[in-house]
Homo-oligomer: A and B are copies of this chain.
Amino acid sequence: MAFNCEVLAIGSELLLGQVVDTNSSWIGARLAEAGIDCYYQAKVGDNQARIVAAVRQGLDRADAVICCGGLGPTQDDITREALAEVMGVPLRRDAALEAGLRERFKGREVPETNYRQADVPEGARPITALTGTAPGLVCPVGAKVVYAVPGVPAEMREMVGGPVVDDLVGRSGEKATVRSRFLRVWGMPESKVAEVVAPRVTALEGTATTIAFLANISEGVRVRITTRATGPEAGALALAALDAEEAELRALLGGFVGGVDDEGLEVVVGRLLQRSGLRLGLAESLTGGMVAARLTSVPGASRWFTGAVVSYSDAVKRDRLGVGPGPVVSEDAARRMAAGALEALGADIALSLTGVAGPELQDGQPVGTVYFGLATKDGPEPEVHHALLSGGNRQLVRERAATQGLDLVRRLLTERLS
């Protein structure tokens, strides 16, 4: 069996269903990127005997185990004690970690219980916490290893995404640093993305860099670049390889690339608006405020977003946006809504969305029918786009419409800025 690593999430709240364990999934994805097999993940409560048994079972099957959680300062945080038991060694207070704790408390008295976070099983090596106070642990057990990382997602990600994956890749015999970056592609189906990117996949054959595709119906396609580098400058080399490949892919995919990594379309649109010095307004019908809510989730949105008219009733469409008589799910209604929003909200660009979210047909049009209007202050007649978002329920149709609408704004702004 190839070198492999298991994940053990620790915390009674996970078993009771009070908190969903998303950490293991995140770690699983990072292990897959790094080419390390993961055949087994488990959850166990805050009970020392059961944690010890679970770690031992993991070590029977796998080369490494990542334990997540139970490193806090309270009495039910017992991962340190459990790992000392697995290693058959006592805990020793680490002087450097103790000094770090005192520094973090800046003169205030360190609660006695917090000093437990400076305890390290004899023979284990601490991983310093960059954020948070909980240090991680690297615990050798014979030729195998157990890592302990905090359960707080941000702290866990920092440790697993850096030192833990690096150490694992080294132990797997590869001695490499593995790093990934995601380019988010909007408005192009996965099969088309694969076709466009095919020359790069061929060009990369035999190199340390690979490309993979991940598709999600409401989040678009993500193109993952993964690269491996070695030597003392491995980190810098990996970063340079990612930058170089990102540039190659952007050259092929052009305006279809939106954000990088976890960056949503709303962040990208906000940045483009800020750069253009333009302000956006919205007229939302089927999305009922979802586009506005996404945009205003970005701090500082008031600099580039004026507001929205959520025109759910026909009277609001007519009286506030100047939509005429006739069907409200139509090209004409979308055009008038966009023009009306531009005017009513004092915006430079306006996006309108009208359509059928379901569950029932409207004006004889099927669920998933959407018209988007795009109006610009100095521009000609508003342009209208049409889509049929099939195969989803009400919420999915609305989410996809919101995403597609934001992508239309993104493309318009990208064109203007280029």
Contact = CB atoms under 8 A, between A and B. Distances in A.
Interface string A14-36: 11111111101111111010000
Give the secondary structure class of A's interface. mixed
A127 interface: no
A308 interface: yes
A296 interface: yes
Interface residues of A, number: 68
A41 interface: yes
A279 interface: yes
A326 interface: no
A57 B17 CA distance: 22
Contacts of A320: 307, 344-345
Contacts of A346: 313, 315-316, 319
A40 interface: yes
Interface in A31-71: 32, 38-45, 47, 50, 54, 57
A284 interface: yes
Contacts of A123: none
Contacts of A299: 358-359, 394
A39 B45 contact: yes
B14 A18 contact: no
B301 A316 contact: no
A292 B292 CA distance: 10
Given A41-B43, A313-B302, A27 B32 contact: no
Contacts of A29: 16-18
Interface of A: 14-22, 24-30, 32, 38-45, 47, 50, 54, 57, 214, 279, 282, 284, 287-293, 295-297, 299, 301-302, 305-313, 315-316, 319-320, 344-346, 357-359, 394-395, 398
Given A282-B310, A299-B359, A307-B310, 12 more contacts: A18-B214, A21-B25, A39-B45, A40-B44, A288-B301, A290-B293, A292-B293, A292-B312, A305-B313, A308-B308, A313-B345, A315-B346
